Amino acid sequence: MSFTLAIVGRPNVGKSTLFNRLVGKKLALVDDQPGVTRDLREGEGRLADLRFTVIDSAGLEEATDDSLQGRMRRLTERAVEMADVCLFMIDARAGVLPADEVFADILRKKNANVILAANKGEGRAADATILEAFSLGLGEPIRMSAEHGEGLGELMDVLRPISDAHEERAAADAPETDVDVGEDDEDAPRIPTRAKPLQIAVVGRPNAGKSTLINKIIGEERLLTGPEAGITRDAISVQQDWGGVPMRIFDTAGMRKKAKVQEKLEKLSVSDGLRAVKFAEVVVVLLDVEIPFEQQDLRIADLAEREGRAVVVAVNKWDTEDDKQDKLKELKQSFERLLPQLRGAPLVTVSAKTGKGLDRLQQAIMRAHDVWNRRVTTAHLNRWMIGMLEQHPPPAPGGKRIKMRYMTQVKTRPPAFVVMTSHPDAVPESYKRYLVNGLREDFDMPGTPIRLYLRDQG
Ligand code: GDP
Ligand code: GDP
């Protein structure tokens, strides 16, 4: 069984054009299939050797009444529920519009796996949108032109690990018994609910010990749970209960091997990591205690932060360290100095070889995930903000008094906040940092990227 890709986005961005391109001429409409409404087109997509099901949520162009938004929302939600991954398309010529933010919000709430695509990306006009699109908080957009067939290679690169993970999961799943679904209910979702495993990527330089670590995690659980079919070491990701929690671990070392098998150019571990980071919730940056915080480590950690992932730093090969106390102090100092953007992120020492520290690593991952998902109520935030403003009022550049009126959390994963303020452009970075650090401390959100947006309100 192949994986399912849903193409979502507001009307006219080019969803059908991409759908037609992926599905090709012999478009298989399967309207009568359970769960597919007439608004959702489904077809067999192919991209080189990849095979998958594509759902196109277009078909709303004609609707112009007030209920358009509501219908769009329901349709998109339905598509998301049916899909393993969503391609969220925006129009690179039009820029990021408020309607796009609505879609981004739906996708976030649904915890969807999202690939952001800026379509109509041919030509210079698209450049600004590519940058702007980062503000959607859905990672780096793929620049594409559905009409001219550009960007499909990049799309394929992103889909491949998903396809692999899907195949592996299908192989590992026990055969299902038939379930009587009972009465036919038009609106009831017919999608089996699956417990979503926590998605982890282990990234780091070659030889940091990524394979050893993942093997150890898999191996230890095997002793507890007995041998299981379907876990192969070449896999791009493995799903595994770890301490009773279902987790999916993206293995960048495995990706490299796979790339070699396919006789592709061996990529830098940073670009392998990049792909894994995109689909992870928590990124474990694995350092080698002998050469910690190398350039490559810093780049990937920074990338994870910019992509808005929860980050845990693990220092491996701790068994080889004699002077553990001094070393730990030194590591903490380097961490603060070299990765200030990850302030408060957990630093865990482990030995992948002996398994020492893996329980602490698991706890740190769970906690980071928790913080990343944290939501603070608006009432709490506003009470807090008043205190912060009193303690240290915003500056008055050129005599302009900056007034901050209202604060609310607009999303989680990672937590993002909006402050309604006068003269948002005049607020210095240092003041934003004061607020972000305050949020971090007072609401106990160490280590997670926190986004703070200032919006103009007179
Ligand atoms: P949908 O409503 O999202 O399904 O959008 P359509 O696929 O119907 O496309 C809307 C319009 O955008 C059509 O006129 C397409 O020809 C055009 N279009 C689609 N992809 C591209 C592209 O890559 N570049 C340009 N310039 N136009 C495109
Ligand atoms: P990868 O390239 O990041 O996947 O690294 P590997 O897992 O292949 O490990 C690289 C080397 O480091 C191997 O020789 C491992 O045996 C060794 N190694 C990995 N973890 C540890 C550890 O915790 N302690 C020690 N002493 N060696 C380790």
Whose atoms come closest to the Cα of 289: which ligand? 2
Strands 310-316 and 282-288: parallel
Tell me if residue 345 falls in helix, strand or coil.
coil
How far, in Å, is the centroid of ligand 2 from the Cα of 217?
A: 14
Ligand 2 contact via 248 beta carbon (within 6 Å): no
Q: What is the pLDDT of residues 411-441, one digit of tens each?
A: 888 898 989 888 888 898 999 999 999 999 8
How far, in Å, is the centroid of ligand 2 from the Cα of 345?
A: 23
77-to-29, 62, 98, 112 alpha-carbon distances in Å = 20, 20, 18, 10
Residue of 13, 17, 90, 144 with the most ligand 1 atoms within 8 Å of its CB, for mutation: 17
How far, in Å, is the centroid of ligand 2 from the Cα of 208?
A: 6
Q: Is the pLDDT of residue 300 over 50?
A: yes
Q: Sheet holding 245-251: strands in order across?
A: 237-242, 245-251, 198-203, 282-288, 310-316, 347-349
Ligand 2 contact via 256 beta carbon (within 6 Å): no
Q: Contact, 121 vs 150, CB < 8 A? A: yes
Q: What is the structure's pLDDT at 337?
A: 93
Q: Contact, 21 vs 94, CB < 8 A? A: no
Nearest protein CA to atom 24 of ligand 1, as residue? 120
Ligand 2 contact via 206 beta carbon (within 6 Å): yes
Q: What is the pLDDT of residues 16-74, one digit of tens each?
A: 889 989 987 544 343 333 333 346 677 888 888 889 999 888 644 444 455 566 777 77
Q: Is the pLDDT of residue 398 over 90?
A: no
Ligand 2 contact via 252 beta carbon (within 6 Å): no
Residue of 202, 205, 211, 212 with the most ligand 2 atoms within 8 Å of its CB, for mutation: 212
Q: Contact, 142 vs 155, CB < 8 A? A: yes
The tokens describing 35, both together, are 């769960």
- Closest among 1, 24, 23, 19 to 9, alpha carbons compared: 19
Ligand 2 contact via 257 beta carbon (within 6 Å): no
Q: What is the pLDDT of residues 191-235, one digit of tens each?
A: 333 356 888 988 888 888 888 898 888 775 544 333 333 333 334
Q: What is the structure's pLDDT at 280?
A: 84
Tell me if residue 412 falls in helix, strand or coil.
coil
Ligand 2 contact via 104 beta carbon (within 6 Å): no
ipTM over 0.90: no
Q: Sheet holding 50-56: strands in order across?
A: 41-47, 50-56, 3-8, 85-91, 114-119, 142-143
Q: For the residues of 10-51, what is the DSSP string, one character each?
A: STTSSHHHHHHHHH-SS----TTSTT--TTSEEEEEEETTEE
Q: What is the structure's pLDDT at 58?
A: 62
Angle at 88 between CA 87 and CA 93, to 5 degrees: 125
Q: What is the pLDDT of residues 79-124, one digit of tens each?
A: 888 888 999 999 999 999 988 888 888 888 877 788 999 999 998 8
Neighbour tally for 1: CB within 10 Å: 10
Cα–Cα distance between 382 and 129 in angstroms, integer? Answer: 33
Cα–Cα distance between 125 and 103 in angstroms, integer? Answer: 23
